[in-house]
Amino acid sequence: MSNGSSANAAPKTIKQSIGLIGAGRMGTGIGISLLRQQSELHIKVNKNRLGADRLTGAGAREHASIAELAQHVSVVVLSLPSSREVETVCLDHDGLFVHMRRGSLIIDCTTSYPASTITLAKTAQRRGLSFIDAPVTRSPEQAELGLLNAMVGSDATLFPVAERILAAFCETIMHVGDVGQGHKLKLVYNSMTMGIAAVAAEVCQFADSLQIDLVTLRSLISRGSTNSGIFQAFAAFLLGEKPDALAISIANAAKDIECAVRLARESAVSVPVLDAAAQELKLSVVAGKGGLTLPHLARS
């Protein structure tokens, strides 16, 4: 694993025409940062107008189809919910693999499944395209400030090209190996995040049932190695200090940790604790809590 550059140092993004597919909260933040670097940004019409309207208002050009967008760009950044949407965007008759010019680059910032990523990269190569993974961590707000962290899976030749694009919205860019390795690392990272979240939620409920004051518990935990950003976000949410803390949905969290457990199974790795956390999150989704944010798990 080798570290790439910080966005606060060279290289900066090249001023060029870039496509962005996925104007959700994270994608919108990415797009705002690309526009701030004076990239000519092209986006596809989005059902949820909030992000798309912000981007077009800031200067992005909106297209009615992926095929139309593809005619204007040589680089496309994807920020989508899962591999399923990435596959559709790439492989459909109206998709990127059909309509992008040979030599173009697709950078997948989605939390995608590694096997799908590797297959897409091989298909892209046969069509004269490059497809690499660069999943990101941190929040949509930090995306807008150019402060995300990216884990890039690509060959050594493509990494500097991708790095210059990613520098617009990332402060840390790591080259972690060949295509697929970025998504593997992201699933491992997310599995730890969601596993800690499941434990932190249960502990908050446990403390409440014993009438232990959360402020006191937080003071104690803050002084020791048990402390974590996840617990602090839960405490801030429960105490009403930060209602928007850790704004990932329970449904997305359940999806991410299930992908990680699936990857572990396919790799013949036993992860019983992560599996238990995945089951807890799945039960919350089944109970109708999928649309709530992760800190709601901590409510008794």
Among 11-15, 262-266, 273-277, which stretch is predicted with the lowest mean pLDDT? Answer: 11-15
Q: What is the chain written as a DSSP string?
A: -EEEEETTSSPPPP--EEEEE--SHHHHHHHHHHHHTT-EEEEE--SSHHHHHHHHHTTPEEESSHHHHHTT-SEEEE--SSHHHHHHHHHSTTSHHHHSPTT-EEEE-S---HHHHHHHHHHHHHTT-EEEE--EES-HHHHHTT-EEEEEE--TTTHHHHHHHHTTTEEEEEEEESTTHHHHHHHHHHHHHHHHHHHHHHHHHHHHHTT--HHHHHHHHHTSTT--HHHHHHHHHHTTS-TTSS--BHHHHHHHHHHHHHHHHHTT---HHHHHHHHHHHHHIIIIITTSBGGGGG--
The confidence score (pLDDT) of residue 12 equals 57
The predicted-structure confidence for 8-64, as pLDDT tens digits, reads as follows: 344 555 578 999 999 999 999 999 999 999 899 999 987 788 899 999 999 999 999
pLDDT band at 298 (very low <50, low <70, confident <90, very high): very high
Percent pLDDT > 90 in the chain is 91
User: What is the average per-residue pLDDT within 77-93?
Assistant: 97
User: What is the average per-residue pLDDT within 187-203?
Assistant: 97
The confidence score (pLDDT) of residue 46 equals 77
The predicted-structure confidence for 206-224, as pLDDT tens digits, reads as follows: 999 999 999 999 999 999 9
User: What is the average per-residue pLDDT within 251-271?
Assistant: 97
User: What is the average per-residue pLDDT within 263-277?
Assistant: 97
The predicted-structure confidence for 101-131, as pLDDT tens digits, reads as follows: 999 999 999 999 999 999 999 999 999 999 9
The confidence score (pLDDT) of residue 178 equals 98
pLDDT band at 247 (very low <50, low <70, confident <90, very high): confident
The confidence score (pLDDT) of residue 71 equals 95
